[in-house]
Chains A and B, each alone.
Chain A
Amino acid sequence: MSILIGKETRVLCQGITGQAGEFHTRGCLEYGSQVVAGCTPGKGGQEVAGVPVFDTVCEAVEQTGVNATMIFVPAPFTADAILEAVDAEIPLIVAITEGVPVLDMVRVYEKVSGSDSVLIGPNCPGVITPEECKIGIMPGYIHRKGSVGVISRSGTLTYEAVWQLSNLGLGQSTCVGLGGDPIVGTSFVDLLRMFQQDDGTEAVLMMGEIGGTAEEEAAAVVAQEIDKPVAAFIAGRTAPPGKRMGHAGAIISGGKGAAEEKVAALEAAGIVVAESPADMGHAVQRAMGQA
């Protein structure tokens, strides 16, 4: 079992005719994902990597029955692409694109909230259910099928954690990159609840970072609703206030978002927090041992 995606997921790629879109469509196909349609306005009728391209998302849905989409369109057009996917009632929308204006996301968030679609991202590595389906840009081979759910705000740090887990023999049920922007479609809280419901998930590893209060909110939910073991790591303990650490969302501002507060909130909720990024895999082992 898994969350969000599995063997049966039928994937659309918006922006498939772009360099990144084509490259990662091939990568997902190689991993075994069913990428069955692409969409680029004005390029309908073409084929990319053997996948038919449509002008609109609606056509792609009608003709191929896609139920998930990954978005690679350039940042100025990403909000529009997400809204088109929401309009076409695609259940899962994964926006990989980095650099989407925050106020675009304010509008997108409102529309997604009022719909039945789930949005992951933007500015994220994507979602993977090992050995079944990969939607995104992560290297597939580092993953192993298993029962640890992984949630993270960053890309390569997630790969690092997954690598540690796989090397310890701990496979993953599903790994989700939330995205590094101030406003993203799905939070730790939403995914913790999904993993709690998922029979295939025995433990959860969450990787947060400085900025915002998403980790504190997650801690509150873990304390009240989650009875599976949870481990965590917070990146940016040494980051100075007022400086943006690469991710638009990773900034300590107005006295909020420092790592210490997050670690304290997580530990108070009974979460095993790894002090070192080298210790994320072991933290999951410790959390599972305690439970």
Chain B
Amino acid sequence: MKIHEFQAKELLRSAGVAVLENQVCRSADEAAAAYDALGGEIAVVKAQIHAGGRGKGTLKENPEQHGVQLVRSRDEAAEVAERLLGNHLVTLQTGEAGQQVRQVLLEAGCAIARELYLGIVVDRAASSPVLMVSSAGGMEIEKVAAETPELIFREAFDRDAGLDAYQARKLAAALDLAPGSVRSAVAFMQRLCRLFVAEDCSLVEINPLVVTEKGDLVALDAKMSFDDNALFRHKEIQEFRDLDEEEPTEVRAGEAGLSFVKLDGNIGCLVNGAGLAMSTMDLIKLHGGEPANFLDVGGGANVEQVTEAFRIILSDTHVRAVLVNIFGGIMRCTTIASALLEAYESVGFDVPLVVRLEGTEVAEGRKILEESGVDIITANDLTDAAQKVVAAAG
């Protein structure tokens, strides 16, 4: 689960990690008042959407306006907020439609001496959380990793003991921090690592992490996401969820216990199991089609889930044909066939449906489909299914 920058900064502040003074605003008046309250000469207005690349991103409605802007007066703060709020910010990560800006963050300015990068993830290969820092702050870390990997320094740390002070000092030295900044850096890194574990984060990214002219480390930006499987033990993090930022069909699928990802093609897919679902997408593409979605109904799909899955797939107006690919293991093909028919009837199909069933009680399952008289195209194997659905989608 992702959260907004302003929410992440709340968490950082309460964990004792240095952030600048700021206020969330949902109107131009609030932005003007916030500018006064912050009391400085300069402030920064930052659009709050989940996607990254906001500084370079521009409004769909007004390509002159970027998602992050420096302001020098209360009137300017109000004007920029006015332009951003309610409009759609298009960044590298949002797609062409952009994401609507529903709130902006007004933050105090600061005198920046250096810009660094800091990130924490769970490293799969090391099976351990890892803190990464780089002197190339403000840049895309993927680019730094690809082009100048020698500028990235890493320390794996113990989940329970946290980052040791010497590890933080090693990283501070690698970043060539001035002696006066080391104490600030150690506190910053140790507290952030502790927060990462305490809240079951999957990613914490501070980019840029700045060294102020006084030598202190401050999080100028903050990106946090959380392990969905651990949310059950973090009620306060669940409160941060913003459904406006999520793909509506994906939210709906999640509520029905389906795993769904929307894609750009025109062939809807309904599959049991994540690996088989991914492979089915690959197969469609291999035969010249484009999948409209990834959809895993899970191991024990029932009539309600299959019905909801069909509704979600068909709500996408680009869908020209649907492929059902089920390998009945524990779940019998007869059960699935009956569920398919019931769902098919209640949903009201207006595009061709290709069904490939395999596994337990497959002969009986196919017979149920054939004898139903319903206009379903049955397929004998994977390749047959892919060819038929690609042909049906035209």
Contacts and interface: CB of A to CB of B under 8 A. Distances in A.
Contacts of A23: 330
Nearest to B264: A240
A245 B285 CA distance: 16
A245 B260 CA distance: 8
Given A159-B359, A183-B124, A102 B230 contact: yes
Interface string B265-308: 00000011111111111111110000100101001000000000
B232 interface: yes
Given A103-B230, A275-B286, A137 B329 contact: yes
Interface residues of A, number: 64
Nearest to A156: B273
Contact of A254 (B93, B142, B229, B230): B142
Contacts of A76: 232-233
B94 to A, nearest CB: 12
A10 interface: no
A71 B283 CA distance: 33
B125 interface: yes
B382 A103 contact: no
**Which among B128, B129, B200, B281 has the highest number of chain A CB atoms within 10 Å?**
B281
Contact of A155 (B146, B273, B381): B273
Contact of B122 (A106, A110, A277): A106
Contacts of B359: 139, 142, 159, 163
Nearest to B261: A243
A27 interface: yes
A24 B330 CA distance: 9
B227 interface: yes
Interface string A144-180: 0000000011111111100100000000000000001
Contacts of A159: 327, 329, 359
Nearest to A177: B275
Interface residues of B, number: 57
Contacts of A27: 330
B230 to A, nearest CB: 4
Interface string A87-110: 000000000000111111111011
A248 to B, nearest CB: 7
10 closest pairs, A vs B, by CB?
A: A154-B275, A246-B274, A156-B273, A157-B275, A101-B230, A277-B279, A278-B382, A156-B276, A139-B329, A235-B278
Interface of B: 93, 121-122, 124-125, 127-129, 141-142, 145-146, 159-160, 197, 200, 202, 227-230, 232-233, 259, 261, 263, 271-286, 291, 294, 296, 299, 327-330, 358-360, 381-383, 386
28 contacts: A101-B200, A101-B229, A101-B233, A102-B202, A102-B230, A103-B129, A103-B159, A110-B159, A138-B329, A139-B329, A154-B273, A155-B274, A155-B275, A156-B276, A160-B279, A163-B327, A233-B279, A235-B275, A238-B281, A239-B278, A242-B93, A245-B274, A245-B277, A246-B259, A255-B142, A255-B146, A277-B283, A278-B383
